[in-house]
Structures are given as structure tokens and as C-alpha cells.
A and B are shown apart, each in its own frame.
Chain A
Amino acid sequence: MELDNIEKLLEKYFEAATTVAEEETLRTYFSQESVPTHLEQYAPMFQYFSNAKEERFTKQVPLKPRRNYIKWVSVAAVGVLLIGLYFGQPSKSSDPTDLAEVYTQAEIESAQEALAMLGVNFQKGTAQLSHLEEFEKTTNKFLTKE
């Protein structure tokens, strides 16, 4: 490559009037060992551009989207839940039917008696509570008046 030509190209280069091909010739020219001293100052620029193009992206990119996987896990979870509900219910509903077969008549009667006593005592408790309510009403009256 003639020196004259290179100098012209350089001038055009700094005016951004060169084509891609012309810039390529400049880069190849400056990549060689022997460059005239007055042009040496430009060499690092072109060498740098050539070097910079060598850099590569080496990191692996995980392209498989994880969203799909999560979606199917949730579908499976719903399935398991439904199966659990379906098989869980009948065992509970079958319990009270054979009460008479498991316990004797006397046992059932004593249980009923105990429950009746509990009922009566519970009634007493609630009656007491109504007194308490009355008490609160009167205190409220005092509080609102003051």
C-alpha cells in the first residue's frame, strides 16, 4: 500500500468520509510491523480497534424458561389436593352409623345422662351471665351520666 494513499485515507478517516472497506485497509496497514515514524502515532488506535473486535462473550445463557416447570408443579399440587379431599371424606361420614353396634345400651344411656347434666349446668351458667349483663348495663348508665 502506498504511503501517499494511506495519508489521504487517514485524512478522510478523520472526517468520517471513508467507507468500511477503506477503513479495513487502514486497519490492516497499521497492524503490520513497520509503520513510518510520522504515522506511528495513529497505529495504537487501529490496533486497538482490531483487538477490541476479538473479545468474545463466553458466558452460558440459561435459555430454558423455568416458568413452565412451576406451572406444572402447581397443577400437580391441585391434583393431589383433590384426590386427598375425595378419599378423605367417606371415612368421616361412615363413623356415626355404627354407634349402636359399638356401645351397649347402658353405656349410651349413661352418656346421655352425663350430657343432660352438662346441659343443665350450662343453662345455669348462662343464667348467671345474664345477671352480669344487667350489672354492666347499670355501670354503663353511671359512666354515661358522668
Chain B
Amino acid sequence: MQQSEFLNVVMPFKDKLYRLAKRLLVSTEEAEDATQEILLKLWSKKKMMESYNNVEAFAMTMTKNFCLDRLKSKQAGNLKLVHSNYAEESSGLQKQIEARDSVDWVQKIMEELPEQQKLVLQLRDVEQYDYDEIGEMLDMKPTAVRVALSRARKLVRDKLLQKHRYGIG
């Protein structure tokens, strides 16, 4: 497999790998490193890649495992440097800032979720995978994915409501 071929296979889902890594590791730099590591691993196994029936799902599983390993490793204490997403602030309207703020809250709430729910929510609501695909990636039964997803969504909703009622707390 040539480099261009490899890139054609990998490029469509490299952002997904990155977002998944970032969801788990929080820090942008860590997520970038993790994604790079996964891509290099895939590249070194490129001869075997044709035998996998779903390279994307395989790569997602690799990313998940890699990130969980990173979190378990000794360096996990250093991963708490939270990246705050300061995007372009064109107009300083109060309403807009408020809206941004509650959108950011969702991110913070998601960070507090258990890892499995985090993963399921990321794969379903951000990346829009099928339950079967998610089941394959996380090595879970589709029904278990559903249960975890429902729980995660409700948790996010409830925590968001709490924030709205009591303000920042």
C-alpha cells in the first residue's frame, strides 16, 4: 500500500479519531499526540490493513484503548491541563456570550461523565455512528450501548438543568 492510498483510507476518519482522543484526554496536545501515534501505528501495520473488514471501527477501538491506557499510566496526573476553547468572539452581545457559556457547560459536564458514557455519547451524538458500529468499537452489545447512551443523555440533561437553576456551582 502506497502512502497516497493509505491517506485516502485514513483521512476521512482522522478527525473522528482526534475528537475521540480529545474527549477522553481533554488536552488538545495530548489528543494530537495520541492521534499521531494511532496513525503511525496504522501506517506500520498497513500491510495487514486490507484484511480488516472495517478499518475505521478498528482505528476507533485502537484510539479508545490507547487513550484509556494513557489515562491509566503514571502521567495521567499531568493530563488535567484543561484546554478552554477560545474561538472567535466577533460580537460581544450578552445573549451570545450566555449561549456560548451554556454550550461550554455541556463540555464540562461531559468531562465529568464516566468513561464509558463519555465514549458512547461522543460516538453517537457527535460522530453519529450506528449502535452496531459503536458496539463493535467498544466491544459491547448494542442494547448495552443503548442503555449507556440513555443514561448519559439524561445525566447531561439533568446536570445542565441544575446549572441553569442554581447558576454556576
Contacts and interface: CB of A to CB of B under 8 A. Distances in A.
Contacts of A51: 103
A134 interface: no
Contacts of B126: 49, 52-53
A61 B44 CA distance: 13
Contact of A63 (B3, B102, B153): B3
Contact of B130 (A17, A20, A41): A20
A14 B161 CA distance: 14
Contacts of B39: 61, 63
A103 interface: no
A65 interface: yes
A20 B128 contact: yes
A45 B107 CA distance: 9
Interface in B77-115: 99, 102-103, 105-107
Nearest to B164: A41
A122 interface: no
Nearest to B33: A59
Nearest to A10: B157
Contact of A14 (B14, B43, B102, B153): B153
Interface residues of A, number: 28
B106 A44 contact: yes
Contact of A45 (B18, B36, B156): B156
If over half of B's interface residues share one DSSP class (helix, strand or loop), that class is named, otherwise mixed; here it is helix
Interface string A55-69: 111010111110000
Contact of A41 (B124, B154, B161): B161
B91 to A, nearest CB: 14
Given A23-B125, A61-B40, A45 B146 contact: no
B36 A59 contact: yes
Q: Which residue, of A13, A51, A57, A59, has the highest number of chain B Cβ atoms within 10 A?
A: A57
Interface string A15-38: 111001001100000000000000
Interface of A: 13-17, 20, 23-24, 41-45, 47-49, 51-53, 55-57, 59, 61-65
22 contacts: A14-B157, A16-B147, A16-B149, A16-B153, A20-B128, A20-B130, A43-B99, A44-B99, A44-B105, A47-B103, A48-B103, A52-B122, A53-B126, A55-B18, A56-B15, A57-B18, A59-B32, A61-B40, A63-B3, A63-B6, A63-B39, A64-B3
